[in-house]
Chains A and B, each alone.
Chain A
Amino acid sequence: MSGIRIKARERNGVVDVKTLMKHPMETGLRKDKDGNKIPEHWIQDVVAEANGKVVFSCAFNTSISKDPYLSFAYAGKKGETLTLSWKDSAGESASKDVTVG
């Protein structure tokens, strides 16, 4: 249960990746109903690897929407394994493997 959804499709040697990561992405600006600030908690780093090689990496700020959506594309082949991982400001992390279709 990593809370990551990935679709990876190859066309003409290019793998198109679409992913959704389940995460509250708290900005630290929101308040709960008693007026207390909800502490910031967000995904900071995302890395995608295929065949042991990094094909995409990025850093997020709190201004990325809740349950972040990310799409990118790289040169690759059908059948290879793509691994997507994230790490958040609380030091939590998640990872998911998907076979390129």
Chain B
Amino acid sequence: MDRRSVIKAAGIMSAAATALVALPRIAWAAYSDSAFKAKGAEDALSSLYGGSATTPSDQVKLKAPDIAENGAVVPVEVETDLQAESIAILIEKNPSPLAISADLPAGTQAMVKTRCRMGETTNVTAVVKSGGKLYTATKEVKVTIGGCGG
């Protein structure tokens, strides 16, 4: 082993050690393969929340552009006056619609902003879980250039 590979190995080992020490104390959100790999919005909601019955509500505010020239970076914002425990964003025509699911502990504002990819013109749905029920707002985003594959 020459000097360079020894240093490299030491670096990898110390990085691994840091990861091992740092990991157990982080309370990760429960990423769920069944919800995020689900091919339909209803299946995704069922496996995420245990039910797919939703009620449209004007108290759920979804902000997304009418037309997205670049489907790779589409800003999406969800906000609500409801007491939200969880917020999710679904992009209907994507291969797997669920884009993000956020858990909001008490004291955290009922708001989330991010940027999503959209393969084609699609409905975007914001889902807010409040008092055990699911409330939604939907908006169509027209996509000029898709952002999923290539």
**Residues on A close to B: CB < 8 A?**
14, 27, 29-31, 44-47, 49, 53-66, 68-75, 85, 87, 92-93, 95
Contact = CB atoms under 8 A, between A and B. Distances in A.
Contact of A61 (B96, B102, B118): B96
A27 B28 CA distance: 21
Contacts of B23: 87, 93
Contacts of A54: 27, 105
Nearest to A59: B31
A65 B26 contact: no
B91 interface: yes
A2 to B, nearest CB: 11
Interface size class of B (residues with CB under 8 A): 35 or more
Contacts of A64: 99-100, 114-117
Q: Main secondary structure on chain A at its contact with chain B?
A: strand
A56 B147 contact: no
B109 interface: yes
Contact of B95 (A29, A74, A92, A93): A29
